[in-house]
Amino acid sequence: MKPMDDVLLVIDVQNDFMPGGALAVPHGDEVVPAINALASQFAHVVVTQDWHPAAHVSFADNHPGRQPFETVALPYGEQVLWPAHCVQNTHGAALHADLHIPHAQALIRKGYQVDVDSYSAFLESDRKTPTGLAGYLRDKGVRRVHCVGLATDFCVAWSALDAKAAGFDVSVIEHACRAIDLDGSLAKAWASLTAAGVSRD
Ligand code: VGL
Ligand code: ZN
């Protein structure tokens, strides 16, 4: 069993990111057994949930004339437009039913503000609003953050980079992640992670 200063951060293992879901990640369901096995080795587990209002700024439907996977300029920078996904209190936003982590200790919801996205579990996409996760982990004496889940090139990568910037030792456990890979985003994500000193496990 890993000590309490290691945390497993389980990112966005939600129905809408599974095959057949609103924003399906190819082979996204394969992370579930991998994460269950890892979680049994961690005393400390934190789970995240992408959690958008129906009118969310990241949904293509809320930008007349725009299509999913286009980008738009928002006040805080470029935003990819996604199919509507992980709407608060829907089945799509629920965690995968087979995810089995009864000992998970905290659940961080993100992207709940109508006009700001949040790929990262630490900082919203305006790059200044904290979710509170860094403070929680520091209060708990965490030193090492191990990231798993969906999607490698968006929420996992942004969370890992922000964890590193917040002063934690960080690893991404590759076999327990799957990617969207939009226009080379997966290769770019790994390059940024490696350059930042995040270990690829
Ligand atoms: C995610 C795109 C939009 C993710 C969330 O969990 O990686 N990607 N919202
Ligand atoms: Zn989202």
155 is catalytic: yes
Question: Based on the structure, what is the number of domains in the chain?
Answer: 1
* Pair of tokens at residue 96: 């995968």
The whole model's pTM is what? 0.98
* Pair of tokens at residue 167: 């002063």
Residue 61: inside a domain: no
User: Looking at 6, 29, 50, 110, which residue is catalytic?
Assistant: 110
Residue 103: inside a domain: yes
Residue 91: inside a domain: no
- For residue 154, the ligand 1 atom closest to its alpha carbon is 7
Give the list of residues 6+ apart from residue 29 with CB closer than 8 angstroms, or none.
Answer: 18, 19, 96
Average pLDDT of the chain to the nearest whole number: 98
Residue 150: inside a domain: yes
CA of 168 to the centre of ligand 1 (A): 22
Residue 18: inside a domain: yes
117 is catalytic: no
Residue 14: inside a domain: yes
pLDDT at residue 74 in the model: 98
Residue type at 135? G
* Pair of tokens at residue 69: 């996977």
140 is catalytic: no
Distance CA 114, CA 85 (A): 13
Domain of 115, in residue numbers: 6-50+97-200
Give φ, ψ of 109 to 5 degrees.
-95, 145
CA of 3 to the centre of ligand 2 (A): 31
Residue 134: inside a domain: yes
Q: Which residues line ligand 1 (CB under 6 A)?
A: 12, 50, 82, 119, 150-151, 154-155
For residue 71, which of 81, 63, 60, 82 has the smallest C-alpha distance? 81
In this structure, what CATH number is given to the domain that contains residue 18? 3.40.50.850
Strands 199-200 and 169-178: parallel
pLDDT tens, the chain, 201 aa long: 999 999 999 999 999 999 999 999 999 999 999 999 999 999 999 999 999 999 999 999 999 999 999 999 999 999 999 999 999 999 999 999 999 999 999 999 999 999 999 999 999 999 999 999 999 999 999 999 999 999 999 999 999 999 999 999 999 999 999 999 999 999 999 999 999 999 999
